[in-house]
Amino acid sequence: MAAGLIHRLPSLILAAALFGAPMSLSARGPQAQEVLELPGRDRLIEPAFEEVYSVGVLDGEPWEMFGKVNQVAFDASGSLYVFEGTAGLAGPRDLRVLVFDATGGFIREFGSWGGGPGEFRQPVGFAVLRDGTTVVGDAGHRAYQLFDASGVFQRHVRVGGESFPRGLHADPRGGAVFAGEFAEAGLSMRFGAAGAPPTSRPIARVSLGGDVAQPDTVVRGWLPPRTGAEPMPGNVPVEGEIRNMMGMLSLSLPAVFEPRLLVAVLPDGGIVHSDSSAYALKVTSPGSGEVARIIRRPLLPEPVTSSVRREYEERRAAVLEEIGGADALAETQERMLDRMRELMGSSGRGAGANLNPTATLHEPNYYPEVPVLRGLAATWGGRVWVQRRGELPENDGGPIDVVTVAGAYVGTFRPGATRFP
C-alpha cells in the first residue's frame, strides 16, 4: 500500500493531472472489432508451481544481496537478469545488472554509474532480448545502451524527438524493443518546443539496427485529458519559472486512480493492452496497428465517492508520517530537481540551473472511478495474466485472472495465492 501511495505524492508539489471520461470502445476506429465476453463469476484455480531456484540473501556475497530490484527478465536460454539498485531522478546512483543461469548460479554482473559509454547516467527502462542482448534506455545519454550476452557494451542507439525511452519490452522476434510509458511511468517528461499536449499514450516498436532510433507507433492507448483551453475541474495553477520554461520542459502527472496504460507483449510480437477503467483487454496483431479483438468481463469500476477520497487521504497522511513527513518528501523532490537541472544543463537544452519550479498546493485531483485492472503480463505460452485491484483502491494485491488471447477464460487465482509475474 505504501508504495502505491508514495507514487502519487509528488502531484502535491509539481502539478496535477486533469481527468476526463474514458473513451468509449466504439470510438476506437471504424474497423470491425471482435468483442469477446468472458463470464462475470470467478472460477477459482489453485497454483501448482514448482520452485526451480531462488536468488538473494540477507547476508552474503555482494552479488547475493539485493537492494531495490527494478525489474527482472529472462533470455531464451532461461538466464535471469536482475536490474538492481536505485534508478530514477532521486537517490544514490548504484544501478547494476546481475545475471544468473537457468539453475540460479551466478554468472556475472555489469554496469556502473557515470557519463561514459556503457555507464549509466539516467536509466529509465530495461529489456533483455532473446539472444541475451541487454537494452537500457538511458535518459542521461538520450540513447538506448546495448550490451551483448557477455555484458560487454556494444554501442548507443541515439534517441531523437521529445520523449525519453522508458517502459521497455523486448520484441520476441528480436532486434527491437517496444517503448512507451507503461504502468509505473506516472510522471511524463518531454523536452522540445512548445506545442499541443499529447492526446494518447503511444506504444512504439523501436528497431535497434541503426545508430538513431526510429520509433514506429503500433498502438495508441487512450490518455485522459490533462490540459485544455478552458480550466477543468481540479486543475492546479503553476506559478514561477516553470511556467516560462514549459516550452522546454513539459510535466504531466496523473490524477489519483487514473487508469494506467497496461501493456504485455505476446510471444508472436503482438500487443495486448488496457487503457481505461473498464475490464477491457485490447489485442493487436503483429504489424497491424489496429485493435482486432477486445476481451471483456462484466466487472465494473468503483465510483470515487467522498468516502473513498477521505479514506485515501488518511492513508496518504499516514504514509507521509511514516517516511518522515513533508520535510522528507521535500528533500526527495529537491534531489529530483537537482537531477533535472543537471540533465537539462548538460544536454544543451537551456539553462537547467535556473529551473526552480513552484506550485500552488491544492488537494489532489481524482479520477472519477477506480479502475478494475492493475497489472498485465503475458507468458511464453501465450496466456495473459490480469491483475485486478485489491481490497484498497490503490492496492495491487487483488485476484489474478488467467485468459488466452483467443478469449478463453482459464480461471482466477484468489488474492495472495500466487505472485503476479
Of 37-46, 81-90, 193-202, 287-296, which one has max mean pLDDT? Answer: 37-46
Does 277 fall in a domain? yes
Of all residues in the chain, what percent carry a pLDDT higher than 70?
A: 69
Q: What is the CA radius of gyration of the chain?
A: 21
Task: Note the Cα 225 to chain centre separation in Å.
Answer: 19
What average pLDDT does this structure show over 49-77?
Answer: 91
Does 420 fall in a domain? no
Distance CA 185, CA 88 (A): 11
Tens digits of residue pLDDT in 274-320: 999 999 999 999 988 889 999 999 999 999 999 999 999 998 888 87
Does 421 fall in a domain? no
Does 418 fall in a domain? no
Predicted TM-score of the model (pTM): 0.78
Decide: 357 and 380 in contact? Cβ < 8 Å. Answer: no
Does 419 fall in a domain? no
DSSP tag of 320? H
Check residues 94 and 52 and name the one with the higher pLDDT: 52
Would you list the DSSP string of 363-388?
A: PPPB-SEE-SEEEEEE-TTSEEEEEE
Does 166 fall in a domain? yes
Distance CA 247, CA 413 (A): 47
Decide: 272 and 283 in contact? Cβ < 8 Å. Answer: yes
CATH number, domain with residue 249: 2.120.10.30
Per the structure, the count of domains in the chain is: 1
Mean predicted lDDT score pLDDT of the chain = 78
Q: How far is CA 354 from CA 53, 203, 339, in A?
A: 50, 33, 12
Domain coverage including residue 41: 2-413
Read off the C-alpha cell for 321. Answer: 508520517
